[in-house]
Structure 1
Amino acid sequence: SCTGYVTPGLDIRLSHELGMPANLRRVIIGHMGCHAAVPGLGTVAEYVAVHGRPALLLCVELASLHAQPKSPTLHAGSPTIEDFEQIVAHSLFADGASAVVVAPEQRPASAVASQLEIVDVMASTDSSVSDYMGWLVTDHGFRMRLSPQVPEVLERHVAGLVTTLLSTHGYTLDDVDGWAIHPGGARILRVVANQLQLSEEATAPSYDILREYGNCSSATVLIILQRLLQTREIPPGKVVVALGFGPGLTLFAALLKAH
């Protein structure tokens, strides 16, 4: 989660409410923003591989808690670029939660309709534009920073990241049978689709979730993966790519293989 602070943390509160055992291991990963589910998948997969035990990744975002009125330092009727930026940002973002279980071995096919193996996770950070996206704590609460130039940065980096991830494991773009692209906005989806030469069908799950739910920050990619698996069958051996974009400015990509 990147939308608040509380101690005892959400991990303790939720594990108690859900009746989970007292020896449950918990780790809170905070303030990575919209891309957090992808490195979260990588972290959970590494835990499962080391300990041979299942793990749960939970993303909870409550962006509506931080919708801010016009800056109190401004005179009435004199909105600034920052005010418009806040309006645009909060019109995109929405509350959401999603969860996924990662298990140490494949379960019987009858147990789960579609299963994906986490093959690899890769990142690319352009620190020269780190101020393009942020979530700042101010005297008047959280203030969001979301530059309209973010799509231009993604345009420069997304193709290189994805092709490197695929080629590392002997795949090409033609081997990808499903895409879960974080919908930071319609313009971001258009830029990614153009750089990766994706069809309307390939980006449909991302557009559908953006239209129906909005940008739920870290929860969104997992929601899109669910929609993807509900609406199409990924043939065994084919791969799915999940993409997240967030502060840094950071791009994260996960390579998932269908069983």
Structure 2
Amino acid sequence: MILDEEIARPDTVGRTADAWAAGRRGPAILGVGTANPEDCYSQADLLDMYAIEDRRIRSVFLNSAIDRRFLTVPPPGADGRPRPETQGELLAKHKARGTELGARALQSCLKRIDAAVSDIDYLVCVSSTGLLTPGFSALLIRELGIPTSCSRLDIVGMGCNAGLNALNATTGWATANPGGLALMVCVEVCSAAYVFDGTMRTSVVNSLFGDGAAAVAVAHGTERPGPQVLKYASRIVPDAVDAMRYDWDDEQGKFSFFLDRDVPYVVGAHAEDVIGNLLSGTGVRRSEIAHWLIHSGGKKVIDSVAVNLGLTGYDVRHTTSVLRDFGNLSSGSFLFSYERLLQEGVVRPGDYGVLMTMGPGSTLETALVRY
């Protein structure tokens, strides 16, 4: 038995953490794949395309720490600007483009782990940018020829934090079904959730989000390499339940997303609590976390979380670079960061990492992994 005083001794902390991790033997993340639309726009491109001259709105776009975003923009109307889309057209775009992006991300993930669609036993699809019944799981099974016996789950409307909520369900299934292959796909067509009315409320949203999909493969009890997911921890802040929401706008006749200006501070203020809960009982100290993969929620959100957790620019380099190159990709953002970490080639066996997502609720979700 490990005594509390042993955990506190510097010369035993690493061994305590390793012993705890060895006892967990969590399900492994086998691979990741991502996809974006073909069309990419700089912030200046979008301001010119929509002929936006309001200095306040231009400032929001140009000071967002975002260089470009991949979007599905409608064709121009009679005035030369992109034509306004009805709610029906937005939902149709969500379905068509989402199915395409989700299929490409899933296929990319399978290719990286040398697996086929026929190997998929469980499929979880996540989306917060449109309403769809049947969901993307059924559409992807039909589109790709995934076995019709595949178990599935659709997670809709949870927002940017939903990727980790879904990963929790995915790893749970993998643990209960050793040897089975589970796929999670985050499909976010954020351009299907845009309202253009010239207000600051919609402009903040329109300056931030981009289109993209990300897929991750998970299995338990196999010899395939990949980081093991050891533990999850959540924190919801009910007092901030209205700070981030996607609801109906009667004036526009569309669904519209709202972000409260205090969201970054609410998220940052509770980041330390949820990380404390995540590491509690593991013997892992915060200073031993080698890799931080945090949702690219926006410049102020990233800064607030980094300040409250004492993280450096290097710690959040993938979070900020994904924001710069893609914008906020909602539930799949952290998987784009994970892909960049793998491409960087700096991960060593035994490294600990933290995954963190934030979203409506207001909610923080975290996972502890060991590479």
Instruction: Say which SS state the counterpart of residue 201 (structure 1) adopts.
Output: coil
- CA-CA distance at 1:108 after TM superposition: 4.6
- Give the match's secondary structure for 1:101: strand
Determine if contact 2:186/2:332 at 8 Å carries over to the other structure. Answer: yes
Count residues in correspondence. Answer: 242
For 1:171, give the aligned amino acid.
Answer: V
8 Å Cα contact 2:196/2:203 also seen in 1: no
* Contact 1:35 1:252 (8 Å CA) reproduced: yes
Q: 1:155 — aligned with what? A: 268
Q: Does the Cα contact within 8 Å between 1:39 and 1:121 map onto a contact in 2?
A: no
Q: Deviations over 1:103-122 (max 9, x none)?
A: 1134355xxxxx21111111
Asked if 2 retains the 8 angstrom alpha-carbon contact of 1:32 and 1:246, the reply is yes
Question: Match of 2:146?
Answer: 20
Between 7-16 and 119-128, the greater mean CA deviation after superposition: 7-16
Residue of 100, 103, 119 corresponding to 2:216: 100
TM-score (norm 1): 0.90
- Counterpart-to-counterpart distance in 2, 1:34 and 1:185: 11
Task: Name the counterpart of 1:89.
Answer: 205
1:152 CA drift (Å) = 1.2
Maintained 8 Å contact 2:290/2:352: yes
Q: 2:231 maps to what in 1?
A: 120
Contact 1:180-1:224 within 8 A present in 2 as well: yes
Aligned to 2:53: none
Q: Which runs of 4+ in 1 moved over 4 A?
A: none
Equivalents in 1 of 2:128, 2:205: separation in Å?
Answer: 15
The correspondence of residues 70-219 of structure 1 with structure 2, limited to 5 A, is 70=197, 83-109=199-225, 115-139=226-250, 140-219=253-332
TM-score of the superposition, structure 2-length normalised? 0.63
CA–CA separation in structure 1 for the residues paired with 2:177 and 2:195: 44
Q: Which residue in 2 is equivalent to 1:3? A: 129
Matched residue type, 1:10: F
Alignment match, 2:20: none
Letter in structure 2 aligned against 1:130: V
Partner of 1:73: none
Q: Structure 2 vs 1, CA of residues 116 and 97 (structure 1 numbering), >3 Å: closer, same or farther?
A: same
* 1:231 equivalent among 344, 352, 360: 344
1:31 and 2:144 aligned: no
Q: Distance in 2 between matches of 1:19 and 1:164?
A: 41
Please give the secondary structure, in 2, of the residue aligned with 1:44. helix
- CA shift for structure 1 position 92: 0.4
The residue type paired with residue 90 of structure 1 is N
Q: Which residue of the partner structure matches residue 46 of structure 2?
A: none
Bigger radius of gyration: 2
Instruction: Quote how far apart the aligned CAs of 1:66 are.
Output: 2.0
Q: Which runs of 5+ in 2 are unaligned?
A: 1-126
Find the residue that maps to 2:283 and give its secondary structure.
coil
Instruction: Tell which has more relative contact order, 1 or 2 (C-alpha 8 A, sep 6+).
Output: 1
**Superimposed CA distance per residue, residues 150-189 of structure 1 (whole angstroms, 9 cap, x where no aligned partner):** 1111222101111221133111111111011111111111
Q: Give 1:51's aligned residue.
A: 177
Q: Identical aligned pairs, as a percentage?
A: 32
CA distance in 2, matches of 1:211, 1:10: 28
Aligned equivalents of 1:194 and 1:69: distance in 2? 33
CA RMSD, 1 decimal: 1.3
Q: What is the CA–CA distance in structure 1 between the aligned matches of 2:132 and 2:241, rounded to whole Å?
A: 26
2:296–2:329 contact (8 Å) kept in structure 1: no
